[in-house]
Amino acid sequence: MVGVTKIKYSGNSRRTMAQQEDRRMNTLTKMALGLIGQLKPTPLEFDSSKSIRLPAPIMVGGMPLMQALAARQSQREFQVAVLPHQSLSDLLWAAGGVNRAELGGRTAPSAMNAQEVEVYAALATGLYRYEPTAHVLHLVAAADVRRVTGYQDFVDTAPLDLVYVADHGRMKMIPASHRESYASIAAGAMAQNVYLYCASAGLATVMRAWFDRAALGQSMGLDADQQILLTQTVGIPKASACA
């Protein structure tokens, strides 16, 4: 089971984390802001790390596969506590990490090995893009983008919102009419990997497709070849959700 992280933050960062429960934006407010183009990330009161070098994923142990499948579920109540870097490392590797270095193979399938789906991690400390080969997170936006990743209020304060983005520029060998469906299949496999990891690790997660695509794409700085497919919230479950 996952414990509370011991990652150190600045004084301003700790105050921001402590205030999060009071800063949730309700669904109607998000929808109204989206209609006028004003659904935006939350500015940070501290500096974001340019990169987060993750510890090596732990590839042994855990729950047997059949038990993880039996325990797999969607949960929508999360603690605000940040995830330990080891848990973040393990779940990102599960989503789409390298599992066959000699071939560059990944934990999730990709048509023609295009590896067209990138995983972004929206944290309280900024928006990061996961680089599987180096197993590192690179800063994309020094802002708290979590609020924009979904119309639901819990996305604002859960410690991690994953965003799965298809890069159509990597699918030159795939007919344009097939690219979205191919990428969606790959993203679904990646999200299920995260579900199974969370079941094994005692974390809560839920996959989501209800969000303002224009607002999120703008917040992430995506270009015309990039398409947001789905989002997924991850965190330590609230005690009431586990009862």
157-210 per-position pLDDT tens digit: 999 999 999 999 999 999 999 999 999 999 999 999 999 999 999 999 999 999
The pLDDT of residue 3 is 42
Domains and CATH numbers, the chain: 11-242 (3.40.109.10)
Query: Is pTM, for the whole model, over 0.75?
Result: yes
The pLDDT of residue 21 is 55
Residues in the chain where the model's pLDDT stays below 70: 1-23, 240-243
Distance CA 145, CA 159 (A): 11
Burial grade of 218 (CB within 10 A; 0-12, 13-18, 19 or more): middle
Q: What are phi and psi of 208, to 5 degrees?
A: -140, 150
Q: How far is CA 158 from the centre of its chain?
A: 11
Residue found by looking up tokens 């991850």 in the block: 234
- What is the overall mean pLDDT for the chain? 90
Distance CA 243, CA 239 (A): 6
- One-letter amino acid identity for 64? P
The pLDDT of residue 59 is 94
Distance CA 129, CA 162 (A): 10
The pLDDT of residue 210 is 95
The pLDDT of residue 45 is 86
